[in-house]
Amino acid sequence: MARPRSSQAATPRRPAQVQSKDRATSSVAARRAVLKRIKDEGVEHVLFWFTDLEGHLKSFAITPNEMEGALDDGMGFDGSSITGFNRIEESDMVAIPDPTTFQILPRPVDDHGHELGAKVGRMICDVVKPDGTPYEGDPRYLLRLALERMRKAGFDTFNVGPELEYFLFEDDKGTETLDEGGYFAMTTQDAATEVRNDTIHALESVGIQIEYHHHEVAPSQHEIDMRYDDALVMADKTMTYRIVVKEVAAWHGYYATFMPKPLFGENGSGMHTHMSLFKGGRNMFFDPKDPHHLSKTAKSFIAGLLVHAREMSAVLAQWVNSYKRLVPGYEAPVYVAWSQRNRSALIRIPLYKPGSEQATRAEIRCPDPACNPYLAFAALLHAGLEGIEKGYELPDEMTTNLYRLSAEERKQRGIVALPGSLGEAVEELAGSELMRKALGEHIFPRYVELKRKEWDEYRTQVTQWEKDRYLAAL
């Protein structure tokens, strides 16, 4: 795989000078296994990946000769150059590679099936301070803290299965589609089937198990679904998925985007996220005696998601454009309710199949694929655990199409809507004690500041729509 544009090296303004110290958090055996693979498979470079606060992938490259020291001690970088990280006077950071994430990146092939370009590996890193303590601004560490809260609550696994949708366009200069195919299209209109097939091969080559793929509702819109996994592993996979999708599209001369709503009048791209809690290998969401086959744990978890949905919206849908998707009429959830079959509800409970008790789960439909998965999964887990620990009661199921109810009918039933803009969502976030706890005292104020700034930049623009509507009339 060629070095992707969106994961270009996070070039420091000055090299971070950090005192050498054995900061590795992995076993000696795991580190030796990585070094052996690098040598045996002729890897020429290894990319160290981590994310900034908004979920943009950052990387820098290490040569094989430097790998042993990097595995033992990490590599220093200037955190002041990374969005949401520390100011320049306290900017020295260290990236500690996680050996369990080592993969050799896929490469394009020529007409004869020969791989092109250098053989490159990648490892996902935890970010620490020079003394080796975790950096509170590292989104990966934040998710680790949420999982620690889960373990203290008596569970051992938070399984997550996100469904990422995306668009393929002719290039990154516009939104010229490749086809006019619709949902599950299997005709010549679905021009990107070959691109999807190559994407699946590339994803599987880096250890991402794929369950199925298909054309989505909008023209040139696609979905490739990963098999569920532990939340931290899945967040790593989500970051990898996004860059692989973009890279394979580029091999074919196209551009892939996870922008939530690139086309006016068409469905946007969501990231429906399936969740369940396990303990000792058992799904704690399942109850054979309940009419919906949901345990008390599951009901309280779902209630937590509903109660805190507005507060965490700015994390699950974090861009101005996210709220162009979250409007009635385009299959996107707007109203805070739950149902087993009603897809207009925010949370859906997939139908139970006898013998599939382990698959009992809740699906939240408001996240979009441009979120930071580490922050998103952490926020969802905290909200669900809050419901469990405080014994939230699950409201009645909503079986009616919520889009067809009047505002007064929704009010009578106690159904609220998600925020209608990033500005509204940020203020909900800013006033949330739970999200302050979920994001931590380091990330929380920085994240609120970033999103307020984005909203202010947007709301002060004069758009073409305004000129067309008002210039000649006013």
Dist CA 407 CA 415 (whole Å): 9
Q: Please list, in sequence order, all residues whose beta carbon lies within 8 angstroms of the beta carbon of residue 47, skipping any fewer than 6 positions away.
A: 3, 7, 59, 60, 61, 62, 105, 120, 121, 122, 123
- Whether residue 196 is annotated as binding a ligand: the answer is no
Q: Compute how many other C-beta atoms are within 10 angstroms of the C-beta atom of residue 90.
A: 11
| Catalytic pick among 201, 343, 459, 469 | 343
| Catalytic pick among 73, 179, 198, 223 | 223
Kind and range of the H or E element at 65? helix 64-73
- Whether residue 201 is annotated as binding a ligand: the answer is no
| Catalytic pick among 122, 140, 242, 272 | 272
| Catalytic pick among 52, 54, 73, 78 | 78
Q: Is 165 a catalytic residue?
A: yes
Residue type, 169: F
- Whether residue 292 is annotated as binding a ligand: the answer is no
Q: Is 112 a catalytic residue?
A: no
- Whether residue 197 is annotated as binding a ligand: the answer is no
- Whether residue 365 is annotated as binding a ligand: the answer is yes
- Whether residue 276 is annotated as binding a ligand: the answer is yes
Q: Is 194 a catalytic residue?
A: no
- Whether residue 272 is annotated as binding a ligand: the answer is yes
Dist CA 276 CA 282 (whole Å): 10
Dist CA 286 CA 350 (whole Å): 12
| Catalytic pick among 54, 73, 165, 386 | 165
| Catalytic pick among 138, 363, 368, 428 | 363
Angle between helices 193-205 and 231-251 (to 10 degrees): 130
Q: Is 78 a catalytic residue?
A: yes
Q: Is 41 a catalytic residue?
A: no
- Whether residue 165 is annotated as binding a ligand: the answer is yes
| Catalytic pick among 31, 348, 365, 382 | 365
- Whether residue 275 is annotated as binding a ligand: the answer is yes
| Catalytic pick among 163, 179, 386, 428 | 163
- Whether residue 331 is annotated as binding a ligand: the answer is yes
Q: Is 170 a catalytic residue?
A: no
Q: Are 123 and 96 in contact (CB under 8 A)?
A: no
Q: Is 457 a catalytic residue?
A: no
Q: Are 420 and 391 in contact (CB under 8 A)?
A: no
- Whether residue 211 is annotated as binding a ligand: the answer is yes
Q: Are 127 and 136 in contact (CB under 8 A)?
A: no
- Whether residue 90 is annotated as binding a ligand: the answer is no
Residue by residue, DSSP assigns 410-458 as HHHTT--B--SSHHHHHHHHHT-HHHHHHHHHHHHHHHHHHHHHHHHHH
Binding site for L-glutamate, by residue number, is 267-268, 325, 331, 343, 365
**Residue positions annotated with a catalytic role:** 78, 163, 165, 216, 223, 272, 343, 363, 365
Annotated binding site: 163, 165, 211, 216, 223, 267-268, 272, 274-276, 325, 331, 343, 363, 365
Which residues contribute to the annotated binding site for Mg(2+)? 163, 165, 216, 223, 272, 363
